[in-house]
Structure 1
Amino acid sequence: MKPRPLPAGIDRVDAALIDHLHDGFPLCDRPFARIGEALGLGEDEVLERLRALLASGVLTRLGPLYQIERAGGAYLLAALEVPPARFDAVAAQVNAHLEVAHNYRREHRLNMWFVLAADAQATVDACVRAIEAETGLAVHAFPKQREYHVELRLPANREST
């Protein structure tokens, strides 16, 4: 079998590191040392590789995923219909809110989608009202109706089958 080509910007060690992190993060005093042990790397090399992957944009974040409602918080998927000429300015206004977890452009009438996350529903609602007031645009809210668990794995270091 021929190995699948690696994504741009990573080598086989980076790919193995990313694949390994998909399986969880060790909860111990020196997690990066334990990750390194599993991959035959030193702790410093693991940390340096992760820093480089984050700095280059190959990885955009390294952190936990959790259900904010179980922690007492609230979130909302929201969208705006932004005139193309105002897109960058509106994105800056939206992104200025600490409650904005991420924001992305779509090729659709509703061309800006973002997630709001906060400690309480009232805080999310206040942020929606603030964004509407600041931008002059209606926020389209898409509250969660049902939870789905979809584990997305994009193996970077596996051979084709």
Structure 2
Amino acid sequence: MPYRVTGLSVLNFGAGWERVPGDEDVAARVMIFMADRRLLFGDRHHSDERECVGSAHAIRRFLTEQIIEAKPGKTLGQRLTLLREAARNFVDRGGSDAADFRHDHLQFGLALGDLRAAFALHLAAIAEEFDLDLEYELARLVFPEDEDETEPTEA
């Protein structure tokens, strides 16, 4: 865990230190936050458009805070920026007050699929880079079950 100097005393030869969160801490916070975002994995219905856009706004705000905490120029910050961009794109596609989604349910489904695909890709990479376990719902997003894969039954 990195530390930074917060103060020096010349005559007593002392220094004050403060613990600075590292990218590992930021990555763990992101995984915890995303594991509670039903927008990323829950069943969505045509009446959920406003709530989904609101959730995407909350994700954007959270990611902005985490980007500030991440080390500049490192892959974590870049991935968080791409996640924030995916959330912004989802919001933009929904239009004001999610009106575009409410009038075009196909557009809502496509935008949601794009958002989830981007999050699956980048969250999987973050989990791999920082050796983080994925909570069940996020693991289902990253590693969706193949409906065609069923255990063969003996006749």
Relative to its length, the structure with more strand (as a share) is: 1
**Higher normalized contact order (CA 8 Å, seq sep 6+, divided by chain length):** 1
TM-score of the aligned structures, taking structure 2 as reference length: 0.26
TM-score of the aligned structures, taking structure 1 as reference length: 0.25
